[in-house]
Amino acid sequence: MKKLFKLTFFFSFLMLFVACGDDDLEPTLAQDKDLNTGINNADDLVSVMNSAYDRMTPSGYYGRNQIIMGDVRTDNLYSNVNSGRFTDSDMDYSPNGAGPWSTIYRAIAICNIVIGADIAGLEGDQGKMSHTQGQAHALRALLHFDLLQDYGQHFVNGGGAGALGVPYVKTYKDPANLSPARDTAGSNLGDIIGDLQTGISMMNDAYNISTSYMTKMGAYAILARVALYGGAADSSLYATATSAAEWVIANGTASPASAAGFKATYYTDNASNSIFELAYSGTDSAGINGHAYILRGTSYGDVRILTGSSGDDLYDIFAADAATDVRFTKNGMIGTAQGYPSILGKYPTMDGSDNVTIIRVEEMHLIAAEGHLRAGNSSGALTYLNNITGLRGATAYTEATLANILNERRKELYCESPGRFYDLSRTGQDMPLIDSIKQMNDDKDGMPPKFGSYRYAYPIYLSELNANPNMVQNAGY
Amino acid sequence: MKKLVKLFSLFFMMAGVIGFAQDTVSGTVSDSEGLPLPGATVVVQGTSIGVTSDFDGNYSISASQGDVLVFSYVGYESQTVTVGLSSTVNVSLTSSTALEEVVVTGITSRERQRLTSNAVVVGSELIEGVAVTSPDQALMGRVAGLRIVGLSGTPGAPQQIRIRGEGSISGSNSPLFVIDGVPVNNGTISPLLTDMGILSMINAADIESITVLKDAASLAAYGARGSNGVVVITTKKGKAGKIAYNVQSQYGFQNYAVDERQMLNGNQRLLLGAETIQNTYGWTKERATDYVLRAFPGASAWDAGGRVDGNWEDLIRVEDAPYQNYNISATGGNATENFRLGVGYRQQTGTSIGTDFESVNGSIYYKKVAGKVTIETNNRVSNAIQNGIHEGTAYFGAPQMTRMFMSPWQQPKNPDGTWNLNLTTSTFNTPYLAEVNIQQNDGTRALSNSKVSYAINDKLKVSSRYSIDFTLGVSHEYRNPYHGDAASDNGYAYQATSRNFLWQTINELEYNDVFGDNEHFVSALIRQSFAKNKSHFQSSSGENVAAAGLFYVASFNTNETGFGSFGDYKELGYLALANYSYKDKYIVDLSFRNDGSSRFASGYRFGNFYSAGVAWNISNENFLADSEVVDNLKLRASYGETGNNGIGNNQYQSLFGYGGAYDNNGAVAPVTFGNLVISWETARLLDVGVDFSLFKNRFSGALTYYEKTTDDLLQSVPLSTTTGHSGQTMNIGSVINKGVEFEFDAQVLKAKDFSFEIYGNVSENRDEVLRLAQDAAGNDINLDNSYYTTRVGHPQAQFYLRTWGGVDPADGRPYYLVGGDHRDGPVSDEVTYSYYGAEQTVQGLRLPPVQGGLGLRVGWKGLTLDANMMFATGHKVFERWAWYTMNSGLRSTYSWQGDARLMDRWQQPGDITDVPKMVYSSSSLSGGSATTSRFLYDGDFMRLRDLSLNYSLPKSATDAIGFNRIDIFVKGLNLFTWTKDDLPFDPEVRATGRFRITTPPLKSISLGANLNF
């Protein structure tokens, strides 16, 4: 008996000693898959592409900050710092960095994985995969355009097209391009337009799902926007803006919202006027970190409509049509919450589950108006301009001037992408003073920053400068 | 061969039996006071004949004249008696207080004089009643070079431990925990905002001792996981003898240790609020006051209500929160078969409203020696329930946040006594939330540890150990639909289950031998260990509840989410140890370990770690043998390597993660940049020291110098974020920690009834970064951020803040010094009024370079007083959140709440103060409260960590009522704290050096009794 015990004991002991090796240490990949074997077919490619959209949704980007920062630095909104948020509305950014830099590059990385896939070697519908890659090109263009607007030096100290832009990243994990240098703003614009044109040529409407995804129409619309903004650096682009906008108006599926239907577009996903939007649902909403909470939350609620006596605030520009304009108080779009003048109709659902519109067809009419005006065709411009007023219960303009077009853009697109800040900067304007007590961007010098100030661009993050020897900081930081 | 040996020994035994007249010797084994020692072992030396004494201490053994009997008993010195003419041999054994201490390293148990390392052992008497929240708390101030900080005063919260500083920049710096020879998990159950440390589920009353291993000779045996030090916990075992019962009970009260932060009262807030307008817009005081009362949130209601301040502080703090602890254990058996049973119950009410902790546990130890086979099993199970709160940062729902951020103009209750849920401020009514919301962690932990060993002969032993460490954590959160975080979602419920299962097997062959005339002691050991850890996690949540009184996810049917995940790791190790001692004068230790971990790629999984140690017991040399002064003097040195694999699982792989979703479709994205060539972080340890004991052991101690160089740091090397990744895990960089440790114990007075002893330790640790990752152009990638800087030639992550200049007496504006360490050119002392005009500047260390403990123990008859003071010096602590509470602007008077120190603000030209003038601005820059050295304090502190007064009833009294021993004690924790700077928060902060919003550390006082019968 004892011997048996001994034998068994030794035997099992020995077995254990020899039984373990390198292979026994292979970890389980439970939730993840190896990168090199992760994309096998058209559906895999679509799933990866979904991440590019998903990475645009955080509150650091289109989930909140991109849109709020587009207006909170201007005469539209201000931050009362109720919860300590949007102190960057003072435009006195920490030299350690500001803005959505890494968030945007994270989305670009996904586009590059999709673009870099060798679709000929994958299973499934080649047309669908080509369409997906086309989406990636168009999205990559939009993402770089947002980077260029936030970090480019083209408006700082008289920069122009030759000033520093951002690194245009076209590859994922390319060992030769892990520390890219900044391209010029002009080069960025060229790459953005090139990517949009590539995207347009690769996408096919047969594969469209909804406006929550990039489409050929979306790429044209972004091209129109890019060309309009790029016109400040290269005026030949205005013609591109006009033609792209008119392509969308003529060939796109989106149509401007009626006066009656206007308010509903803000709580309707993929509304009729939508060209491209980001999908949010109750389960993947930004919640308290979304737009609704910052605009009218009982806690948070930092960002409110800037009112004051020094210049024209939102109440002032709507005053003439106050009784009729569906974008104002009468239609519940603007009103009082917690005692503050607040944005009520945009991002209406408190849990942040409303889709966030990035571009819609009304903007195309206003771009076309401006394009025609800049080409000297003021009657064509007036038609497009009054296409909007006519649908909003606003008095028609008698003349298409740049001031009128910018005023209508402000009325139509306040607190929406692309943001009033970028209209002010591309037209060479100073930040307006409305109320020195409320607004924060006058605290530093007594007046808000003037056009050309280094404060028109965010500083690049210190971590980026530390990790990338080829990176150059923006002026003034 | 073995059979042959056995046969021979049998033959010799037979020969012995036949060759000599056999008699029976009998007698009694007792202790020095004449009490019988049941279960004592009596062996005829040189034979396998052995018996144990019965319950009355009587024994009877076959032995002949001339045989040598060896009497032994646990805790007593063995005695040998040569059998003479008499057949009765009575012995009395003396208690082995003078016995050579045995140090348990988790792998071996060895007499201290044969160690080449210096391990600190903390015994059970210092653990019981002191370790209130979890057993590791008992180490505070007791071990040189060890820093331990409670992460929160919420009951059940975990501790953060650092041994000899931090060696790793981005890997783990937490030590390994070993219980009864097996590494265990040390983490938290923390899907909620309060963490529950799983070590809190180990009953402190079950612990015999805790040993802290710090040096190469002892750590190298732990190979890949030894780098950060090892905490070895040894639990109580069975004791031979009549069944002995132990009953412990303790009852006490707890309060915040020092955090008595004063905030502005309503009138002060009104005064300062008005000043913001007076100073900025030149209004009169009356007009400004009137404006504040009209326009600032809550002011008009407060004014109309007779200016009664909301009593938030009273509602949030639980004064004299009770604490109770009861343990019962029984031990018994004999030398060949014994057991211990224990049960315990602990209940602790938290000092923050809504927190408490309750734990029940049971343990069983059983040992059986059957010939050459010894089986031993040690099992414990506990369940702990922690009711927690939001804490850690400025959660609106955190009671401790309310203490600092709630306006006194807001009322917690309506005039009719109901809760006021219509606050005109962002922060919530947290006393209400504490009453109605649920935030509960319910953890069950089972540890099973069984060992079977077989003595092939008296030199060679083989053993096999199997252990299981199982943790089941169930968490539940309910947020009510009426007020707070979930009001807009109409209620929220969350449930999570985490299950972690770790099983390990350790197989071992151990050899011990003595050659010559007790001259050469040799011991060697080879072992294989394999560990496999599996963890499962599942959670679900939902919103929108139909009715009150429903708390679980099943009733929350909107926006339901579900999540499930699985993770595993495996570790395989081989170890060889050898120890040689020549006449206990010269000792050599060698170890070699080969370890494999699944956290690295195939081909990089295995690492080799070795160590060598030498020691010289000078006091055993002839020239010191007769010394009156030196009792023990030992020089020791060791050198070796250990590893650290403290990174996440699967980091080496380039992976797609499938966790995302877009538009309700799956979204796939790369989660790691990947690096196939990552492997162990390696630490090279060098220890040199001297142990001494002088004047008949009246003064003893140890002095150690060490260097620990950590190479191939597992570091997340920053990548240009244009890659879409923030970093890549690489083996790069190097850090050195150097230090000196001194421990001593002095018996100043030792008379018949009176003794007076002083003990203590002090250590110094300094670190320096030797190498960092470099970018493509060959420049160091400095790890700087808005608080810290890590650069070559400097300590890791020093405070790196703009330098506060002060307040200009002329106009009350804050100013800064341009400063600028790390820049080309000299540091500038120029003054600037622009925050961004100042450069971030090195401001000091976040971990104390010097720390220690100093204690005294006084005994008089049955009374013992033990007091232990801990201290730390040379570091800085930062007051986070001061950018709100110390803002000379609207953050402190309009949005949130101000600290009472704001009353010292600048008011008129000529005022000399450090608080800027009040301005009508929400900016931390204009209000002077942006992150600068203004809120950085000297962290130096001294704290009476524990104080215990114990009275042991005289033996005559206990005998009369049938008890063996009765102790009555009073224990106090953190009763007294001294800080160098006037800190607005508790000086014990985690390794980041920054204040966090949690329940403050506690002081407590308790009364208890310990009965043995």
pLDDT tens digits for range B966-985: 999 999 999 999 999 989 89
Residues written for chain A: 477
| Closest by Cβ to A32, choosing from B606, B655, B667 | B655
**For residue B79, what are the contacts with CB-CB under 8 A and spacing of at least 6?**
B70, B71, B72, B91, B93
The H-or-E segment that residue A464 falls in is helix A462-467
d(C-alpha B412, C-alpha B427), whole Å: 11
CB A255 within 8 A of CB A272: yes
| Closest by Cβ to B895, choosing from A82, A102, A463 | A82
**Chain A partners within 8 Å of B775 (Cβ):** 179, 466-469
Which residues are B253's β-sheet partners?
B322, B1005
Please answer yes or no on whether A35 and B670 come within 8 Å at the CB atom.
yes
Average pLDDT (A103-132) is 94
Q: Are strands B727-731 and B828-832 parallel, antiparallel or unpaired?
A: unpaired
Q: What is the radius of gyration, based on Cα positions, of chain B?
A: 32
Please give, rounded to a whole number of angstroms, the shortest distance from the CA of A48 to a CA of chain B: 5
How does DSSP assign A330-364, residue by residue? GGTSEEEETTEEEE-SSS--TTS-S-EEEEEHHHH
Q: Which of B43-47, B396-400, B623-627 has the highest mean pLDDT?
A: B396-400
Model pLDDT for residues B166-199, shown as the tens digit of each residue: 888 877 888 999 999 899 888 788 777 777 887 8
Q: Looking at residue B921, what is its pLDDT? A: 84
In which residue are the tokens 């009834």 written?
B753
Q: Looking at residue B12, what is its pLDDT? A: 36
Q: Which residue of B has its CA nearest to A43?
A: B666
CB B365 within 8 A of CB B238: yes
Please answer yes or no on whether A83 and B895 come within 8 Å at the CB atom.
yes
Please answer yes or no on whether A469 and B454 come within 8 Å at the CB atom.
no
| Closest by Cβ to B671, choosing from A32, A96, A212 | A32
Peptide bond into B399 cis (omega under 30): no
pLDDT at B19 over 50: no
**Chain A partners within 8 Å of B891 (Cβ):** 81, 84
d(C-alpha A425, C-alpha A415), whole Å: 16
| DSSP symbol at B425 | S
Please answer yes or no on whether B655 and A9 come within 8 Å at the CB atom.
no
pLDDT at A243 over 70: yes
Residues written for chain B: 1013
* Cβ burial, residue A350 (10 Å; 0-12/13-18/19+): buried
Closest listed residue to residue B897, CA positions, set B429, B483, B426: B426
**Chain B partners within 8 Å of A33 (Cβ):** 655-656, 658
Look up residue A341 and give its two tokens: 């003048």
Average pLDDT (B537-548) is 90
| Closest by Cβ to B723, choosing from A54, A173, A350 | A173
CB A256 within 8 A of CB A265: no
Question: Apex CA B229: angle with CA B223 and CA B232, to 5°?
Answer: 95
Please answer yes or no on whether A34 and B656 come within 8 Å at the CB atom.
yes
| Closest by Cβ to A35, choosing from B560, B674, B723 | B674
* Cβ burial, residue B447 (10 Å; 0-12/13-18/19+): buried
Q: Is B105 on the interface with A (CB under 8 A)?
A: no
Q: Which residue of B has its CA nearest to A78?
A: B922
Closest listed residue to residue B36, CA positions, set B242, B289, B283, B210: B242
Q: Are strands B23-31 and B91-93 parallel, antiparallel or unpaired?
A: parallel
Domains of chain B and CATH, by start: 18-98 (2.60.40.1120), 102-243 (2.170.130.10), 244-257+319-797+846-875+941-979+993-1012 (2.40.170.20)
Average pLDDT (B906-929) is 92
Q: Which residue of A has its CA nearest to B660?
A: A51
Q: Are strands B176-179 and B230-235 parallel, antiparallel or unpaired?
A: parallel
Q: Which residue of B has its CA nearest to A57?
A: B662
Please give, rounded to a whole number of angstroms, the shortest distance from the CA of A256 to a CA of chain B: 24
Which residues are B251's β-sheet partners?
B324, B1007
Look up residue A232 and give its two tokens: 């400040």
The H-or-E segment that residue A421 falls in is helix A420-426
Please give, rounded to a whole number of angstroms, the shortest distance from the CA of A46 to a CA of chain B: 8
Q: Looking at residue A6, what is its pLDDT? A: 61
Beta strands (DSSP E) in B236-320 are 241-256
Average pLDDT (B925-932) is 91
**Chain A partners within 8 Å of B559 (Cβ):** 281-283, 351
- Of the residues A178, A347, A443, the best mutation for testing chain B's interface (the one with the most B CB atoms within 10 Å of its CB) is A178
φ/ψ region of A229 (left if φ > 0, alpha if ψ in -120 to 50, else beta) reads alpha
| DSSP symbol at B962 | T
CB A96 within 8 A of CB A465: no
Distances in Å between the Cα of B368 and the Cα atoms of B335, B339, B372, B381 are: 8, 9, 11, 22
In which residue are the tokens 């602990």 written?
B346
- Of the residues B423, B656, B892, the best mutation for testing chain A's interface (the one with the most A CB atoms within 10 Å of its CB) is B656
A–B interface: beta-carbon pairs under 8 A: 263
Residue B558's pLDDT band, with cuts at 50, 70 and 90, is confident
| Closest by Cβ to A30, choosing from B464, B566, B606 | B566
Please answer yes or no on whether B721 and A32 come within 8 Å at the CB atom.
no
pLDDT at B827 over 80: no
Closest listed residue to residue B652, CA positions, set B632, B680, B672, B630: B672
Average pLDDT (B289-293) is 95
**Higher pLDDT among residues A32 and A156, named by residue:** A156
d(C-alpha B164, C-alpha A471), whole Å: 38
**Higher pLDDT among residues B525 and B9, named by residue:** B525
Q: Which residue of A has its CA nearest to B532?
A: A25
Average pLDDT (B23-38) is 79
Task: Give exposure, A116-145, as e/b (b: 16+ Cβ within 10 Å).
Answer: ebebeebeeeeebbbbbbbbbbbbbbbbbb
Distances in Å between the Cα of B919 and the Cα atoms of A80, A447, B260, B929 are: 14, 17, 27, 12
Q: Looking at residue A13, what is its pLDDT? A: 55
Please answer yes or no on whether A81 and B926 come within 8 Å at the CB atom.
no
d(C-alpha B160, C-alpha B171), whole Å: 15
Please give, rounded to a whole number of angstroms, the shortest distance from the CA of A263 to a CA of chain B: 22
Q: Looking at residue B9, what is its pLDDT? A: 38
**For residue B707, what are the contacts with CB-CB under 8 A and spacing of at least 6?**
B685, B686, B736, B737, B738
CB B221 within 8 A of CB B977: no
Model pLDDT for residues B54-78, shown as the tens digit of each residue: 877 888 888 888 788 888 876 677 7
| Closest by Cβ to A109, choosing from B602, B661, B723 | B723
The H-or-E segment that residue B7 falls in is helix B2-19
Q: Looking at residue A132, what is its pLDDT? A: 97
Closest listed residue to residue B349, CA positions, set B378, B326, B321: B321
| DSSP symbol at A164 | B
Average pLDDT (A158-180) is 93
Task: Give exposure, B775-795, as e/b (b: 16+ Cβ within 10 Å).
Answer: beeeebbbbbbebbbbbeebb
Alpha helices in B536-645 (DSSP H): 622-625
pLDDT at B133 over 60: yes
Model pLDDT for residues B250-274, shown as the tens digit of each residue: 999 999 998 778 999 999 999 999 9
Q: Which residue of B has its CA nearest to A22?
A: B602
Classify B510 as helix, strand or coil. strand
The H-or-E segment that residue A108 falls in is helix A101-116
Classify A90 as helix, strand or coil. helix
Classify B144 as helix, strand or coil. coil
Task: Give exposure, A351-375, as e/b (b: 16+ Cβ within 10 Å).
Answer: bbbbbbbbbbbbbbbbbbbbbbbbe
Quote the pTM value: 0.83
Q: What is the radius of gyration, based on Cα positions, of chain A?
A: 26
d(C-alpha B348, C-alpha B324), whole Å: 6
* Cβ burial, residue B418 (10 Å; 0-12/13-18/19+): exposed
% chain B with pLDDT above 70: 95
In which residue are the tokens 């050991």 written?
B525
ipTM over 0.90: no
Please answer yes or no on whether A467 and B373 come within 8 Å at the CB atom.
no
**Chain A partners within 8 Å of B428 (Cβ):** 299
Closest listed residue to residue B617, CA positions, set B633, B637, B638: B633
Closest listed residue to residue B988, CA positions, set B973, B975, B971, B1000: B1000
Q: Looking at residue B37, what is its pLDDT? A: 80
Look up residue B428 and give its two tokens: 């919530």
